[in-house]
């Protein structure tokens, strides 16, 4: 069995070809080509799938596509895609379009959801029964494995942890989604940057201020570099990040009683700075039972979206299921 995982992003598309033993045969990174519209873009992915089918004529080829935004996993439709700038398609019938081109009905799901499966299968080796995967970056996404199965909810949108609220929705900080008080507005890159700018204003002679002022573009790595050098302002930014993330994870734990939380994405690289504050929030919860054995792990694999899609394609096909229902 061959699994093709397609990870569609606003800038790049990553494609992974794997077998059921987890071996990667091919990985490819293409620019997200807007010049020929959505149909041309789908045809480009379809051509890749067709080439793999020709390369492995004796093998069954299964395909899964992770797409950003709001995905109808039942019908394989990408409903809302703020990160993709195609103008010629409103709701993309992604699964149908690809099936027409390749003969294979792919499973289409939210990209963070398939990345969560990648973490579960590739990193955790399916250890753990109920797992929350939190992707920390510009956006804060998530995916859920419940009872050892990928959980996508009633509409395919489960795991939108970034837009759960941890502050007043009228006065809290503005989130990229347009709402106020979202977890993402505190622990996403933009939220971190906001606290960094406040810290730079309050302490213009700090190491953090020096590093930030010397660079044209803000990068989260600068905060870690300053923290590494013992800068109190930078350490405080990470401490506050851990505090807010802890509130979000505590809320999810009280609802779901998971056994494992995995933090992934670029910002999780700073876990050593924010983890103590995060754990303190969990230790201070009144109801302690779900927190006592909760494991919090960090996993950093930049390819986990594509790998997770390929692995989920195989997992579904082994059960004779195609769409990501």
Chain residues binding Zn ion by CB under 5 A are 163, 175, 177, 179, 182
Q: Which is nearer to Zn ion, 93 or 137 (CB)?
A: 137
Token pair 């996404």 is found at 141
Write down the least CB distance from residue 92 to Zn ion, Å.
23
Q: Which is nearer to Zn ion, 43 or 190 (CB)?
A: 190
Q: How far apart are CA 209 and CA 234, in angstroms?
A: 9
Write down the least CB distance from residue 160 to Zn ion, Å.
8
Q: Which is nearer to Zn ion, 248 or 290 (CB)?
A: 248
Q: Which is nearer to Zn ion, 20 or 70 (CB)?
A: 70
Write down the least CB distance from residue 104 to Zn ion, Å.
35
Q: Which is nearer to Zn ion, 181 or 242 (CB)?
A: 181
Residue 41 and residue 126 in contact, taking contact as beta carbons nearer than 8 Å: no
Write down the least CB distance from residue 179 to Zn ion, Å.
5
Write down the least CB distance from residue 267 to Zn ion, Å.
16
Write down the least CB distance from residue 166 to Zn ion, Å.
11
Tell me the three-class secondary structure of 192-229, residue by residue: HHHHHHHHHHHCCCCHHHHHHHHCCCCCHHHHHHHHHC
Q: How far apart are CA 95 and CA 75, in angstroms?
A: 7
Q: Which is nearer to Zn ion, 203 or 251 (CB)?
A: 251
Residue 62 and residue 313 in contact, taking contact as beta carbons nearer than 8 Å: yes
DSSP 23-59: -EEEEEEEE---TTHHHHHHHHHHHHHHHHHHHSTTS
| Secondary structure (3-state) at 294 | coil
Residue 21 and residue 308 in contact, taking contact as beta carbons nearer than 8 Å: no
């Amino acid at each position: 069995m061959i699994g093709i995982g397609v990870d569609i992003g606003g800038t790049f598309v990553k494609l992974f070809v794997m077998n059921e033993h987890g071996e990667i045969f091919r990985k490819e990174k293409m620019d997200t080509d807007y010049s020929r519209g959505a149909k041309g873009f789908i045809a480009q992915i379809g051509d890749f799938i067709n080439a793999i089918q020709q390369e492995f004529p004796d093998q069954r080829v299964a395909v899964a596509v992770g797409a950003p935004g709001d995905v109808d996993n039942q019908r394989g439709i990408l409903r809302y895609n703020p990160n993709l700038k195609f103008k010629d398609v409103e709701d993309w019938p992604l699964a149908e379009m690809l099936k027409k081109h390749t003969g294979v009905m792919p499973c289409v799901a939210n990209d963070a959801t398939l990345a969560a499966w990648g973490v579960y299968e590739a990193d955790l080796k399916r250890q753990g029964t109920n797992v929350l995967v939190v992707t920390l970056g510009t956006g804060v996404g998530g995916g859920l494995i419940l009872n050892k199965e990928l959980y996508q909810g009633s509409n395919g949108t489960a795991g939108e942890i970034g837009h759960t609220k941890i502050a007043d929705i009228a006065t809290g900080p503005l989130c990229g989604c347009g709402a106020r008080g979202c977890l993402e507005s505190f622990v996403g890159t933009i939220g971190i940057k906001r606290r960094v700018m406040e810290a730079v204003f309050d302490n213009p002679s700090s190491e953090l201020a020096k590093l930030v002022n010397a660079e044209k573009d803000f990068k989260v790595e600068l905060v870690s570099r300053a923290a590494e050098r013992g800068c109190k302002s930078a350490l405080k930014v990470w401490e506050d990040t851990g505090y807010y993330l802890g509130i979000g994870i505590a809320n999810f734990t009280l609802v779901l009683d998971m056994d494992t939380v995995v933090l992934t994405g670029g910002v999780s690289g700073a876990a050593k700075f924010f983890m103590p504050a995060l754990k303190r929030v969990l230790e201070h919860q009144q109801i302690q039972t779900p927190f006592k054995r909760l494991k919090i792990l960090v996993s950093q694999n930049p390819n986990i979206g594509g790998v997770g899609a390929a692995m989920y394609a195989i997992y579904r096909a082994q059960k004779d299921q195609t769409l990501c229902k």
